Structure formats: structure tokens, C-alpha cells
Amino acid sequence: MEKILEKFVERSREILQDDLTGIYLHGSAVMGCYNPQKSDLDLIIVVDKPLQDDVKLRFMDMVTEVNEEGLAKGIEMSIVTRNVCDPFIYPTPFELHFSVMHLEWYKSDPRDYVRKMKGTDKDLAAHFTIIGKRGKCLYGLPVEEVFATVPQADYMDSIREDIANAGEDIFDNTMYITLNLARVLAFKKEGSVISKKEGGEWALENVPEEYHDLVKAAMREYAGAGKMSYDYGIAERYAEYMLKDIENQENDHE
């Protein structure tokens, strides 16, 4: 991972030159739960001004090249301009985004990709929050000089998207929803910005014991033990319990 990050930083500096404000690592790689087989490398690149399409093409060629150098889940990155970081803008505009789910689109029509892969992304509120609290500057200006504090309401709205359909999604993506519900409730109750692994640990200390086996199974799957067998009746009740508690916390703060 370190070699891949070093190459990413070096090539980014070559391509973006004086327009590059900084490169910032967030996600599991800075939260103590990076798994080479299950985690992607999460990066935010901040630039001084909007990028021309030819620069985006060069940058994307580099990203897709580095993406193939041994990462199971690959790179997920967004490029944003500095003026949307401080003062923080929500939903946050971005100049360019990449994850492996978009790889075939870029390979099939690069110019169409760089022309259309631009807009706003609510997820950036969560990413910026993690950068502010636990992120790592790989190159450029320190975090505190670039990123303003994300308002709690924006962060909550951002992470709420991940659990919006938890009652249904718990059956198809049990591990992800189980741990993310815990992360959201921990934030609502304590203001904690935590990883999925830490969310599971928090749940074992804070949710009823009847859900502990479900949480433990989700944590084992997240750690790389393979697909777990879940009791979907328990999972359904867990989702209902957590969503109700999250709603109660929001009502209490109104």
C-alpha cells in the first residue's frame, strides 16, 4: 500500500504541478482497519482551480494504471477545488471521481467519462469529516489549512444515505448495514466518527445482547473470514431497533 501511495503522489505532482494543493488519505487506511482483500484506498485530491479535460485524461490514465498494481478493491478518489473545502459547501461539488465500478466506462470512452464525471456528492461530507478528525496528508498543505469543519447536520445527512433503506438492505448486504447502523447511532449518541470495525465494537457495548451474535458475525466477515451465515429474523429486528433509536436521537435534538 505504501509503495502504491508513493507512486500515486509522485505521479499526481507531475501531472497537476502548481495546481495541486494537497493529497489526503481517509477511510479504513487511516482508521486502523485496512484489509488488502476487502478495502479500497480512499483519497481526496485538492486543486487550486478547475481542471481542463486534457489534464483530467492524463490524471485518469495514471489512476487506472496505479489501480492495477496489486490492490484487490482498487482506488477510490475524488478531485475537488480548494474553494469548496473552506468554507465547506454541501452537497459538495467535485471535479472528477473514480472507483473501480467506473473503470469500464473510462476504458471504453475516456473523453465522455471526464466530460460527464463531474457534479456534487453528499458522500464528500463524510470523507471531509474523517479527514478532519483522522485523515493523513500525503502531500501539500496541512489538513487544518485546507478543510473547514463540516457541520454535524451535513455529516449526518451524508451518512444517513448509507442507511436510508436499511430495513430492506439488511438482507442483501448484512455485514455492511449491520456495522454502518452502529456507526450512525454512535455518532448520534456520542458524536463519534468511527470505522465499521469500531462501529461493531461500539455496538457490542451499547446494543441489546440479543443482537451481539449478529454484530460479531458481521465483524468477522468484515475482517476477512468470508461470507457469514446470518439469522435474518434477528437482522430484521436489529435494523428496526437501530433505525428507531437513530430516529429517537434525532427527535430529541430538535
Q: Are residues 107 and 198 in the same domain?
A: no
**Domain housing 182:** 164-252
Residue for cell digits 451524508? Answer: 158
Q: Which residue from 164, 26, 160 is spatially nearest to 90, judged by alpha carbons? A: 160
Q: Are residues 207 and 87 in the same domain?
A: no
Q: For residue 86, give the CATH number of its domain.
A: 3.30.460.10
* Cell of residue 181, nine digits: 447502523
Distances (CA, A) of 12 to 32, 100, 104, 140: 25, 19, 22, 11
Q: Are residues 88 and 136 in the same domain?
A: yes
Q: 3-state class of 140 per DSSP?
A: strand
pLDDT score, position 72: 72
Residue for cell digits 503522489? Answer: 9
Q: Are residues 193 and 113 in the same domain?
A: no
pLDDT score, position 249: 87
Contact residues for 30 (Cβ-Cβ < 8 A; gap 6+): 130, 134, 135, 136
pLDDT score, position 33: 87
User: Sign of dihedral through CA atoms 121, 140, 11, 59?
Assistant: positive
Q: Which residue from 75, 90, 87 is spatially nearest to 7, judged by alpha carbons? A: 75
Q: Are residues 84 and 172 in the same domain?
A: no
Establish if 32 belongs to a structural domain: yes
Q: Are residues 97 and 39 in the same domain?
A: yes
Give the domain-ending residue among 100, 116, 150: 150
Establish if 177 belongs to a structural domain: yes
Residues 203, 207, 212, 214, Cα dihedral to 10°:
-80
pLDDT score, position 39: 80
Establish if 29 belongs to a structural domain: yes
Q: Are residues 53 and 144 in the same domain?
A: yes
Distances (CA, A) of 156 to 9, 73, 103, 130, 229: 31, 26, 29, 13, 31
Establish if 156 belongs to a structural domain: no
Give the domain-ending residue among 115, 150, 185: 150
DSSP 1-42: -HHHHHHHHHHHHHHHGGGEEEEEEEGGGGTT---TTT-PEE
| Three state DSSP letters for 36-81 | CCCCCEEEEEEECCCCCHHHHHHHHHHHHHHHCCCCCCCEEEEEEE
Q: Are residues 118 and 182 in the same domain?
A: no
Q: Are residues 134 and 206 in the same domain?
A: no
Establish if 158 belongs to a structural domain: no
Number of folded domains that form the chain: 2
CA pair distance 44, 96, nearest whole angstrom = 10
pLDDT tens-digit profile, the chain (254 residues): 889 999 999 999 999 999 999 999 999 999 988 877 778 899 999 999 999 999 999 999 999 999 988 677 789 999 999 999 999 999 999 999 999 999 999 999 999 999 999 999 999 999 999 999 999 999 999 999 999 999 999 999 999 888 999 999 999 999 999 999 999 999 999 999 999 999 999 999 999 999 999 999 999 999 989 999 999 999 999 999 999 999 998 776 55
Q: Could you give phi then psi for residue 92, rounded to 5 degrees?
A: -90, 125
Cis peptide before 91 (omega within 30 of 0): yes
pLDDT score, position 219: 96
